[in-house]
Each structure stands twice: as C-alpha cells, then as structure tokens.
Amino acid sequence: MSDQQPVTPAASTPAASRVPDKVSLDGLEERWDGIWTERSTYAFDRSKTREQVYSIDTPPPTVSGSLHVGHVFSYTHTDVVARFQRMRGREVFYPMGWDDNGLPTERRVQNYYGVRCDTSLPYDEAFVPPHEGGEGKSIKAADQLPISRRNFVELCERLTVEDEVQFEALWRRLGLSVDWSHHYQTIDARSRAVAQRAFLRNLERGEAYQAEAPGLWDVTFQTAVAQAELEARDYPGHFHRVAFHRTQDGTPIHIETTRPELIPAVVALIAHPDDERYQHLFGTTVRAPLFDVEIPVLAHPAAEPDKGAGIAMCCTFGDLTDVQWWRELQLPTRSVISRDGRLLRETPEWITSEAGRARYAELAGKTTFSARTAVVDGLRETGDLDGEPTATQRKANFFEKGDKPLEIVTSRQWYIRNGGRAEGKGEGLREKLLDRGTELAFHPDFMRVRYENWVGGLNGDWLISRQRFFGVSIPLWYPLDADGEVDYDHPIVPDEAALPIDPTSEVPAGYTAEQRGVPGGFVGEADVMDTWATSSLTPQIAGGWGWDEDLFSRVFPMDLRPQGQDIIRTWLFSTVVRSHLEHGSLPWAHAAISGWILDPDRKKMSKSKGNVVTPMGLLEEHGSDAVRYWAASARLGTDAAFEVGQMKIGRRLAIKVLNASKFALGFGAGAQGAAVTEPLDRAMLAGLADVVDQATAALDAYDHTRALELTETYFWTFCDDYLELVKDRAYGGGDAEPSAATLSARAALGLALDTLLRLLAPVLPFATEEVWSWWKEGSVHRAPWPVAAPLREAAGEIDPGMLGAAGRALAALRKVKSEAKVSMRYRVVGGELLVPVAEETLVRTALGDVLAAGRAQIALTAADVEVAVVRDAELAEPPAQ
C-alpha cells in the first residue's frame, strides 16, 4: 500500500455494463456503419465558425473501374486525421467527391453504349442508346452512333452512378468518417458551373488567354496535352548522320538526328556559341539536303557540344528544345506534321525548287514512320547519308495515357497563366507561386522540393483546352463576320448566372439557334477544359463557392489537402495556382503526401501495370480495422510494401482490444468515486500520461505512424504486464466490500481503458466503438481526445518505470515455470528473485502484485544483473481446487 494521499479520478457515469458473453470482430463494419448513419455521427455542423472547423479537401477517386488497395492506404491516412481532429474538438468538414470527368469515362461510355460524340449534332431529349450492358467490346468504333455532346455527357453521368454506389459501399466498409450528405461529381452541374465561373474570371483578369502556338499533340486521341501530363519513356530509334551544305562553297556540315523525316521542317542549324568547331559558320547559311531550302547557322547556349556532332537541326517542331530555339531566336514556323500524325498533304510553300517539291510530293500524307524510311532512302541516293543509321534508345514524350510519341503541332489553344512565361500578366507570377510553396506546410517537409523544382522548371503556361467531349465546356461563343470567318479576338461571354452552359448546344444571348454557323451569326467553342482545370477547384466545389457562400466562408481556405506524391506537379500545383489567382491565398494550410504501395517485387502498384490488389476481399478476410492498421503503420511520404502479415498483426490487435476490454470490465473497472492509491496503478497511469502527450504531439505533426507505435506498444504493456500483475487485486478475493487496493485497481483500469480506446479510435474505429458501447453512452468518435492532466493527477509523483520493472520481475518468475514445463498455476516457494540494483526500489514497492501474479513466496534481492532472474527456485503444485 502507498502512504501517499489517495487521488480520485474525474467522475464519470458509465452506462450499465453491456459486455457480451462472446466477443468477435465479425459483422462490426456493417452494424456500426448503420448506427453511425442513423445517428449522423459524422454529420458536419455548419453553424460552427471557421475557427472551429477543420476542413479537408478530400481527393475524388477516379470513377472508371474499381478502387485498389493503394486508395485504401492513402484514404486511411486522411481518415485518421479527420477522426483525431474531430475528437480534438474541431467540427470536421470531410466531403467526398467522384472524379468522373475525363478520358477513361469517355472511352467506357463509347464501348458500353455504342456511341460517340459529335459536337455538331443537336441535343435529342428522347435519345435512347443503341446498346447497353457489358463492355460493348464487340462494337467497332466505325459502328458507334454519333450523338450530341450533351447527350454524351448524360450517358457518362448515368454510367458513373453504378461505380459511385460501389465506391461508397467500400469506403463505408473501410470506416471513412465522411459526411455523405456532402459529395459531388467533377462533371455535375455545380462542378461545371464552378469551373466555368473560375475560367471566366481568369479571362476577365487577363489570366486566361488563347494563342496560336506550338503544343504537344497526341495523334491517337487527337488532343492537345499539357506539360504536366507528359511521361518520358524510352523509345527505339536510329541516329542518322546527314550532310547539309554551305551555300557559299558546298562544304558538307554533318548533323546527327533521329528524325530525318523532319528535314523539310528545318529552320536553322544551331551550335553552342563557345564551340570553336562552328564559330566560323555563325551568320552564314546552309542548304538542306533533298529539299534545297536555305537556312541560317545560329548560336544558342542550349546546344550541347558533346552530343552527336555538336550541331543540331532546329525543326518546327521536333521536340521542346526546338520550341525554345524557335521562340528565343524568332525563327519562322515551317510545320509539316498534321494533327493526324501524317505529313501535310500539300507541298509547303517554302520548298521552292522543282527537285525539292518533287521530293516532298513523295512524302505527302505519309505517316512519320513511312516518311522517315523514304527520306533515308533519298539521302542514300544523293550521298547525303554518311554511313548507315545506328540503333539507339532515345527518350520521347508520351501522353500519360497514350501509346505513341507526342508530336508538336501549331494550333489555337487556351492557356491559364501559371508562371511558366514571365512576360505581360505573367510577370512575377512564378516567384509568387514559389512563395506560396514556402507558406504551405508539407508533410513530410522534404516533399516541398518537388513543388519547387516543378515551378522552377516550367517552360510555358498551363494549356487547359482539350479536343475531347466528356469534359467541362469552355463557356464561350465566337461571332462570325460577314464572310463567315470566326472572330476569336472578341469571344461572346455568358452571364455567370447562366452557368453551366454547353456552347455547342446552347445559344448566346441576343442570337437565335438559326444563326449558328452562318455569316453574321456565331459558333460555339468546341473544346473542353482538361480534367485538372476542374480538379484544381475541388476546395471551391466541395465548399460551395458561388452557390453556398455561407458554407464557403466556414470551410475555406481549407486545412488539409491529402494526395499522392506523383500529382504534386498537377493537382497540388494547379490548385495553388487557381486559389492564388482567384482568392489571393493558399487553398489549404497543410498538404499530406502519401507514398506508393509496392508489390512483392518492390514495384509501384498501378492499374496500367496490372499488379493492383482490389481491397474488398482484404476487408472481408482480415477486417477493416486490420487493413487500416496496415495502412496507418506507414508514414506519409514513404513507400510501403503490400503486406498481409501486417494486416494479421492488426487483426490480432483489434481482437485483443475486445478481449482485454472484456477482461478489464469484468472487474467492474471505473467504479464511481474510486480512488487510485496503489503505486503500481499510479505508475501505469503515469506512463500512459506520457503516451498521451507524445501521441498527441505526433498526430499534431501529421505523424500517425509514430502515434500508433507509441499507443500500440503501451497497450501491449498494459495487457501483458499490468493486467496480469493487477488482476488478483482487482478481483478482490470475493470480498463483499472491496478493499481500497481493489478499488484502486478498478479505478486505474477504468481510466486506462477509457484513454487507450480513445487513443486507438482513429485507427481501429470499429473495435473501439464496440467496446465503448459496452459501458459508455454516445460514440467514442465524438468523445474528447484524451489529455494527460487527469492521468497525472491520479498518478501523483511516481516513477512510471515501475510498471516495466515489475513486469520484468514477473517474467522472470514465469520463465522458471516455462523452463520446467509446468503450469503457470504452480507456486514458486523458494529461491531468490534477483533484480538490477537500479530497479530494486521499484520492484519492492510493487512486490505484493508481483508475487501474487507470479504465485510466488520468494525473497527479493538487488544484484549485479542486467535483467530480473530467479536463482535456486523451488516449485510446488497448485493447491487442489
């Protein structure tokens, strides 16, 4: 017993015990999801002020198939934050969106319904698709029925509904504490209105503009591609050593190229200004082989002297370096690649010689592959090919969803300023966006450099127009002059109140439908915005910008953006751009960046690689708490292996929460008004107080893994050491009136269980809610997050190391029985319990509990040992029952 004054824990009024005879994890997910829905446990209270709210810009998963285990991984991280902040007293705004805007959905609809979009067609209110069901793979593209964009979008919306129902069911099974009354689609009317409203405001301020400029083009999908959508891949090719000839004397100047088919598009030869081999040529001209076009030899610091021949041909356009040279050296535009990936069918006007025009006529309309073969044959014929082509692997730019290298074509496109170009309205924007990156708290912090590198390396503004169908329309029309020519410089802008609009089927104010496409009338903008132009506005869409300003004022700027590391350059950056331009602020204060899930071969899991694992089977086999435990065991920003073994550990932990709680509550834990008087009880609570402080600090720093490690470790100490040490005293020997020592144990058990359940609740929501319901009213997830103060008050001034020292002493007693291969009920009736000198006082203070738990009558001695050990033990059979 302790001679300290007793400390009574804060009073609680537990409900009548509802501990079941048998405990199980089975069925908890379905039961508790139903109860949470019925009780609106996670409903957002919009009466709270912005200071009281914690708002999350939840990533909207792509609705084009199925979720995979990587989604479970990252969304669990977010849910841990949401649950923690809710228990900390913040009103959590946790919406869910569905990203059904984009190419994957478009292609599914084409196959599923047997249709394709034709923006020239009018809307048909009574349209019925010709096919429905399966994947429609038997329907060839040529057999797909053309329909209006509006009809096509309606089919996209219809098809995604089924996927969204399945996604929501999986998220509920996982235990995401989402408020399901706050959800959106990135193609629904509100999302379209928000995206169009933001675009019109960008246009009004001069941040959105259209330009006829070279841009990356996917010849398969027939659409422009933004810098952020590029994927560099190895692509087989050949180096060709080709002779150009000095205009002055015909001397050959050799270059090396992998794209000889672009020789008719050459506008200059370029070398580094310090390259002595070519300095005498700067300012002179050469003639291109086969096509006999005179071009200048120029200097530029981006030329690479140690690459190939050190002098390169600049074409319009072969790669992004060509674009840089073209722009900075003010070179002419001589494009020969058309949007379909074939060479122009008409001979270019800059090829003037009869022989050159005849050569080009042989190439007109050919694919780049066929044209390359023909040009190489021609170079052999004229002797301008030096040697034979040599094989190489070159890096080529691909659209992330494409199969063929991108071409660079000149076309009219829409852009939003993002700091990539410094002139005009873009002056100083890059620096401001870099400053925004400094303001933003990245978790982990080292992810910040990815943002900075991307912004620092931009070479052009954000190309947002796409030549697709299922997307948010660019909300403009253009007048036609008397000759029927489009006046792109004076777009017709709708009123914001009319949004969303589809300019291909709706008519601008002041015009009639009959004026579409006729001189003096109008045409609608046929392009749509890329998906990131809408997804970059998820805080505004979820928060009600433009349609629920009261809600928006309570949630924006948001607190958290959780997302993957691979889309820092796209989603994170583009969202920062839109918020900076529209609101003059960051869209959120924190960015939590998840790592990737790796397969057993340590490769990133992705649908394209075919190595993903779908999660529903895992949730059913192991239980949602177990899968959440695996996810929460990985830190933000680090890649994690897919490990079923970790899920098994998580299931064991969840089961232990049920069993240990049932065991503790069987003592009458948490008796009203009981005082914590015993040293061992106080030591346990002192150690738990330290865990509360440390776990809270970790979660405040977005380190859920550290918080889980601390809590889990102490929970097992509580189960393996404290429960075993204290159970005899907690039972009380059947006394009619429990002693103060018994009441102390029960009070400490109640305090510890109450605290541990709340610490574990963000990771194991189902098991902890189940136990909470056995003896508490309400939900553990609406209970306040534990604080250390009441634990420290109950513990008083005591060394928390006592519990560990007592546990090690008990382990020594049990080891004797294990080695003797006898039951733990055997008694130790002789010998010495040797403990390290530093632990002697701690163990002696708790000796009554140690000996009772170890069923021992043995002397305690301080000795020069590293860990407690029993010497000269004598064992006796337990007394007969």
- Token digits of residue 484: 């029927």
Give tens-digit pLDDT for 836-847.
Answer: 999 999 999 999
pLDDT of residue 235: 84
* Nearest to 380, CA basis, from 369, 370, 392, 372: 372
Rounded Cα gap, residues 137 and 130, in angstroms = 14
Residue pair 408/240 in contact (Cβ under 8 Å)? The answer is no
* Mean pLDDT of the region 631-647: 90
The pLDDT tens digits for 229-264 are 778 888 888 999 999 999 999 999 999 999 999 999
Residue pointed to by tokens 């002056």: 427
pLDDT for 65 equals: 60
What CA–CA distance (Å, rounded) separates 456 from 458? 6
Average pLDDT over residues 499-528: 94
DSSP element (H, E) containing 396: strand 390-399
Residue 12 banded pLDDT, cuts 50, 70, 90: very low
Instruction: Please give the mean pLDDT across all residues of the chain.
Output: 90
The residue with tokens 């900390």 is 88
Angle between helices 103-113 and 149-174 (to 10 degrees): 110
pLDDT above 70 for 601: no
| Tokens read off for 438 | 């400094």
pLDDT tens across 160-192, in order? 777 788 889 999 999 999 999 998 989 889 999
User: In this structure, what token pair is assigned to residue 506?
Assistant: 């709706």
Residue-level pLDDT at 15: 44
Residues 6+ apart with CB under 8 A from 769: 28, 32, 761, 779, 780, 781
As a whole number of Å, the CA-based R_g of the chain is 36
Q: What is the pLDDT of residue 309?
A: 92
Scanning 586-703, the segments in alpha helix (DSSP H) are 616-622, 624-632, 644-665, 679-700
| Peptide bond before residue 252 is cis, with ω within 30 degrees of 0 | no
Q: What is the pTM of this model?
A: 0.82
Provide the 10 A C-beta neighbour count for residue 107.
14
User: What integer pLDDT is reported at residue 56 of this predicted model?
Assistant: 98
Q: Is the pLDDT of residue 358 over 70?
A: yes
Measured distance CA(79)–CA(72) in Å, rounded: 10
- 657-668 mean pLDDT: 92
What's the rounded Cα separation, in Å, for the pair 631 and 640?
Answer: 9
Residue 136 has pLDDT above 50, yes or no: no
Would the pLDDT of 536 be above 90? yes
The pLDDT-based confidence of 449 (bands split at 50, 70, 90) is very high
Q: How far apart are the first and last CA of the chain?
A: 29
The answer to whether the CB of 215 falls within 8 A of the CB of 527 is: no
DSSP string, 104-169: HHHHHHHHHHTEEE-TTSPP-TT---S--SS--TTS-GGGSEEE-HHHHHHHHHHHHHHHHHHHHH
Are 341 and 407 a contacting pair, CB within 8 Å? Answer: yes
- Supply the pLDDT for residue 158: 83
Cβ neighbours of residue 788 under 8 Å, at least 6 residues apart?
A: 689, 690, 692, 693
Span 200-215, pLDDT tens digits = 999 999 999 998 778 7
